[in-house]
Structure 1
Amino acid sequence: MFSADQLQKKFSQPLDRAAIALIAVLTVAIALLLLGGDSTAPRVREFTWQNKQVSASDRAFIMTFSRPMDRQSVEDNLSIEPPVPGKISWAGRRMAYTVTQGVPYGMQFKLELSQARERFAQAGKEGTLIEPFVGEFKSRDRALVYIGVSPEERGQLILYNFSKSEKTILTPKEITVLDYKPYSEGDRLLFSAIDSFSPNRGVLEQRLFTVTTGIIPETQGRRSRRRDNSPGQIKRILGSDNYQNLNFDLSPDGETILVQRVNKQDPTQFGLWKIEEGKQPKPLENEPGGDFIITPDSQAVAIAQGQGLAILPLEPKAEPVDFLPQFGRVLSFSADGSAAAMVKFNTDYTRSLYLVTTTGVSKELRRIQGSFLSAQFGPQGKTLYCLLTKLVEGEIYKEEPYIAAINLETGDLQPLVLLPDQREVHISLAPDGLGLLFDQIVSVAPQGNQAPVDAVRTSSGEAIARSRLWLLPLDPSAPTNRPLDYKPEELPFEGLRPGWLP
């Protein structure tokens, strides 16, 4: 046992006195903390779109908080500029913001949150205010691709970046581009082309290539796998020595190319071939068919066969997983694959447009005497933008094309642009739904005139002298029950087959 004098002597040392004082201070601090609660401000731990580049396929972001929040105060004080309409859902400390109209392309965005409070607080007190948060993200550049028709650009694939006001010629004059498909990241294009000045020049000698656009994708942190992203880097994909290459399609994931091919020595050998990167092309060896389109999941193809539509896996000799005898063509799939726009050829020579869903719903939208040429679903899945024709009464059979918007709930059709005296028209809906591109062939070379060897031609072989490009502004948020008043704007360059980059 220590005596009183020994204890006094022991604790009279400076180090001992400092330790006792520190213990006393910590004890008081702990007591105050227990009585007053945690006074540190809640904060945003994670914002999944922070400093990201987003595209139309990015439908939602998530914010994670350090503590449970008063949800209404968060929703009331969250702001995004420029506005991005959406809806909010919660799971514990995580808030999901789902975009309802798509993110407008070519823009920088700022997200701010302040004045929101935590959920739990001491009795009679409000929750602690959140630490102010500022997040930033951007959308992809607004860019289009087209095939040039002017003498300086004839047959070349051209990229125009609206966001940067930059024009880039992607292919050389030695080849004439016939058609193209963009890869989902926008960094490459798959295209078919023929030799511009060859004596054997013809659509049956078309070959397949890819070309880089110079765009470096950044969506959700992903970067291009290519080391050289400079524009105009061309790679040959498929030749035409033994087979004629006809129509082609690119899977949404960019991993598979399908091509209709005909053996030059034996035309009875006709069908789809599958091309995968790093592998040799191989025939699917299925029953030959007509128009085809790869499904949104990139696992199957919808192809016209006989008296209906077959859904075939992308494997050789595979049996159809489904057959739709009442339809003759698929115009388009919705982005999520839940619906498709299909055409039925009726016995009275009319054509019907149907909305067919994965839940088994088959709904007739319109029946016309003309033709349904192409269609694209709007980003909200509520509108179908169509290129169709109407039958013009007269002694000579004539169909006149026009562009229209169809309400998928009511089936109401609203004409947008009439295109009289047009033989061929191509449309492309912007990924954010804010614009529709289309071309207009102004004139073809007279039959008696000698067209240039490298002339761009229509599907019927006529040489195209001039072709305009137009942009039709759209408002996806406009009420569908009101008349639409959109006026197309002519673009300052000439071309064919305009298409938006994804």
Structure 2
Amino acid sequence: MTDSTARPKLLQPLDRTALVLMLVLGLAIALLVLKGDRTAPHVRDFSWQNAHVGAEDTAFLLTFSRPMDRTSVEENLRLEPPLPGKFSWSGRRMAYTLEKPAPYGTQFEVRLQGARDRFDNSDDERTAIEPFLGKFQTRDRAFVYLGVEGEQEGRLVMYNLTHQQEQVLTPESLVVMDFEPYPDGDRILFSATDRTAQQQGSLDQRIYTVTTGIQVRSPDSLGGQDPASTSTEPQSAGVIQQLLDSQDYQNLKFDLSPDGQTVIVQRVSRENPGADFGLWILQPNAEPRPLETEPGGDFLIAPDSSSVAIAQGQGMAILPLDDQADPLDFLPQFGMVMSFSRDGTAAAMVRFNVEPQNPTRSLFLVTNQGTEEELFRTNGSILSAEFDPAKRVLYCLMTELLPTEAYLEQPYLIAVDLETKQRTNLLLLPIQRDIQMSLAPDGLGVLFDQVIAETEEGAEPGMLRSQEGKAIASSKLWFLPVVLAADGTPAPVEAQPLPLAGLRPHWLP
């Protein structure tokens, strides 16, 4: 007879071991969920770490290892020297947008300590962020100019104000006629003629580039990588490359796109100058090609680098650089575009007022919203205009006709407040038309030249000549600091002479 009572089944040793492990792991998971991760939060990435920051760099990013208490971060973030700005957030990422460009030639530190994560336990020191120190610097304060004396005559010269260094970039065999820096300041685009031909009165311009020796580690080029892993040997200064010859066409004016990828050159055929005249496009890894459009006058590539404003007929045409696309716009009331704002939302344009008894010129602010506002009117000339980085002030080089029997124009450097339309005369300049100015990329200074003309008796063949065709004996460079008044507009200050003899100074971006 069998026993009908079932005996309890005993756990095997392996089962008991597995059950114990399950209980231990479950308890550990429960404790972790209840108490959370006890490691301190930290900054995972700083987008400007060891970068060279330029005026186009307007915001840096801090990425954290966990969600942060935003107020504690904003209250404890320190920049030395200070840079005013505002905060914005997206998850674990914080952006700090500058109110204005950081001053060039300066090293900065970004410090953060004392900030806490979002699930802060104020009694636990481990919830405070690991102290963070980031470093970056702005680009050197440097400019390029055309030498006028001695061995520098007709050659491009770079002067680094930050390090007080001067360097001649182009060879003695070339006489530079015009130039424009590339966006990173590593190269200069220029037109030049052979010195021997120039001395014989021939202006046979070719288009070249020359290296400056500057290597910029921009935040975009680093892409969050260690600069040591991405750095390459900087190219030495003075390396020349010819972009365009002059065998079949004469090269006249040119312009470089803001992205540095397109050069537009105004050319005229040697065989058929009356019919074959217009703009040509040069782009990397492509043969030069003519832009299929009607011939025109002055032109300027727009900030989008894909369109050009050109004087055609009785107005300004906005044309795409793609031949297959339709014209973008035509502004019949304007005859010249002086400059665009950096973001492309505004332009400074000149209108010629046809008044038989009193012809004048007006400078207008034209926006992409279709508004047109007259800023000022003059019976003289409007030589140049540049927007400051904040698009608050327009700096203009203009002249007014003097009430004398001889035709004389008095030049001024003025600032126009684009909000109030108030005009401030910053500087009264010597009476001459051949003046050029350049506004620093950080908006903190203006360079300009003062040409000293040679007498016709003293003029020699091959001497540099002004835009008016007068021989140049010498030229001084001047620096005007931008000092803001209490209302935020520039105030008149005394210009400072630079110990440099040169023409057409141009800040490096």
Residue identity opposite 1:461 in structure 2 = G
The equivalent residue for 1:340 is: 347
The equivalent residue for 1:256 is: 262
Residue identity opposite 2:67 in structure 1 = P
The equivalent residue for 1:218 is: 217
The equivalent residue for 2:315 is: 308
Task: Give the total of aligned pairs.
Answer: 491
The equivalent residue for 1:395 is: 405
The equivalent residue for 1:41 is: 40
Q: TM-score, normalised by structure 1?
A: 0.90
Pick aligned residue for 1:471 from 476, 479, 491: 479
Q: Report the 3-state secondary structure (helix = DSSP H, G, I; strand = E; otherwise coil) of the residue aligned with 2:71.
A: helix
Distance across 2 between alignment mates of 1:31 and 1:283 = 73
Q: Work out whether 1:63 is the aligned partner of 2:71.
A: no
Deviations 1:359-402 (CA, angstroms, capped at 9, x unpaired): 22222221222221111110111111111111211112221111
| Equivalent pair of 1:386/1:405 in contact (CA under 8 Å) | yes
The change in CA–CA distance for 1:227 and 1:206 in structure 2 (over 3 A counts) is farther
> Map of 1:77-92 to 2, 5 A cutoff?
77-92=76-91
Residue identity opposite 1:463 in structure 2 = A
Q: Report the 3-state secondary structure (helix = DSSP H, G, I; strand = E; otherwise coil) of the residue aligned with 1:222.
A: helix
The change in CA–CA distance for 1:296 and 1:199 in structure 2 (over 3 A counts) is closer
> Map of 1:221-300 to 2, 5 A cutoff?
222=221, 229-268=235-274, 269-300=276-307
Deviations 1:112-151 (CA, angstroms, capped at 9, x unpaired): 0111122223599999321111111111111110000111
| Equivalent pair of 1:154/1:454 in contact (CA under 8 Å) | no
* Aligned residues with identical type, % of pairs: 52
Q: Work out whether 1:376 is the aligned partner of 2:414.
A: no
Pick aligned residue for 2:377 from 367, 381, 398: 367
| Equivalent pair of 1:304/1:329 in contact (CA under 8 Å) | yes
Q: Report the 3-state secondary structure (helix = DSSP H, G, I; strand = E; otherwise coil) of the residue aligned with 1:431.
A: coil
The equivalent residue for 1:157 is: 156
The change in CA–CA distance for 1:151 and 1:434 in structure 2 (over 3 A counts) is same
The equivalent residue for 1:419 is: 429
> Map of 1:142-221 to 2, 5 A cutoff?
142-198=141-197, 201-202=200-201, 204-220=203-219
| Equivalent pair of 1:80/1:109 in contact (CA under 8 Å) | yes
Pick aligned residue for 2:455 from 428, 432, 446: 446
The equivalent residue for 1:455 is: 463
Distance across 2 between alignment mates of 1:76 and 1:212 = 44
| Equivalent pair of 2:38/2:126 in contact (CA under 8 Å) | no
Q: Which runs of 5+ in 1 are unaligned?
A: none
- Displacement of 1:236 in angstroms is 1.1
| Equivalent pair of 1:195/1:201 in contact (CA under 8 Å) | no
Deviations 1:58-86 (CA, angstroms, capped at 9, x unpaired): 11111111222221211111111112221
Q: Work out whether 1:434 is the aligned partner of 2:435.
A: no
Q: Report the 3-state secondary structure (helix = DSSP H, G, I; strand = E; otherwise coil) of the residue aligned with 1:397.
A: coil
Deviations 1:217-251 (CA, angstroms, capped at 9, x unpaired): 21125289997711111111122222221111111
Q: TM-score, normalised by structure 2?
A: 0.89
Distance across 2 between alignment mates of 1:196 and 1:300 = 35
- Displacement of 1:434 in angstroms is 1.0
Which deviates more from structure 2 when the two are superposed, residues 76-85 or residues 483-492? 483-492
Deviations 1:36-95 (CA, angstroms, capped at 9, x unpaired): 443322211211111212111111111111222221211111111112221111112211
Deviations 1:328-371 (CA, angstroms, capped at 9, x unpaired): 11110011111111111123322221111112222222122222
Distance across 2 between alignment mates of 1:123 and 1:468 = 64
| Equivalent pair of 1:338/1:357 in contact (CA under 8 Å) | yes
The change in CA–CA distance for 1:203 and 1:392 in structure 2 (over 3 A counts) is farther
Residue identity opposite 1:369 in structure 2 = N
Distance across 2 between alignment mates of 1:482 and 1:55 = 23
Residue identity opposite 1:300 in structure 2 = S
Q: Report the 3-state secondary structure (helix = DSSP H, G, I; strand = E; otherwise coil) of the residue aligned with 1:205.
A: coil
The change in CA–CA distance for 1:164 and 1:96 in structure 2 (over 3 A counts) is same
The change in CA–CA distance for 1:229 and 1:125 in structure 2 (over 3 A counts) is closer
| Equivalent pair of 2:482/2:491 in contact (CA under 8 Å) | no
> Map of 1:4-19 to 2, 5 A cutoff?
none
Q: Which runs of 5+ in 2 are unaligned?
A: 1-6, 223-229
- Displacement of 1:254 in angstroms is 1.4
Deviations 1:168-222 (CA, angstroms, capped at 9, x unpaired): 1111111111110111111111101112122674474211111111111211252
Distance across 1 between alignment mates of 2:326 and 2:22 = 79
Residue identity opposite 1:240 in structure 2 = S
Q: Report the 3-state secondary structure (helix = DSSP H, G, I; strand = E; otherwise coil) of the residue aligned with 2:219.
A: coil
Which deviates more from structure 2 when the two are superposed, residues 99-108 or residues 238-247? 238-247
Deviations 1:425-468 (CA, angstroms, capped at 9, x unpaired): 11111111111110011x222111242x4422112322211100
Which deviates more from structure 2 when the two are superposed, residues 124-133 or residues 326-335? 124-133
The change in CA–CA distance for 1:235 and 1:482 in structure 2 (over 3 A counts) is closer
Q: Work out whether 1:74 is the aligned partner of 2:80.
A: no
The change in CA–CA distance for 1:220 and 1:132 in structure 2 (over 3 A counts) is same
Which deviates more from structure 2 when the two are superposed, residues 345-354 or residues 408-417? 345-354
Residue identity opposite 1:353 in structure 2 = L
Residue identity opposite 1:470 in structure 2 = W
Which deviates more from structure 2 when the two are superposed, residues 236-245 or residues 133-142? 236-245
Q: Work out whether 1:94 is the aligned partner of 2:93.
A: yes
Distance across 1 between alignment mates of 2:121 and 2:215 = 51
Distance across 2 between alignment mates of 1:301 and 1:75 = 43
Q: Report the 3-state secondary structure (helix = DSSP H, G, I; strand = E; otherwise coil) of the residue aligned with 1:468.
A: strand
- Displacement of 1:420 in angstroms is 2.2
- Displacement of 1:480 in angstroms is 4.1
- Displacement of 1:267 in angstroms is 2.1
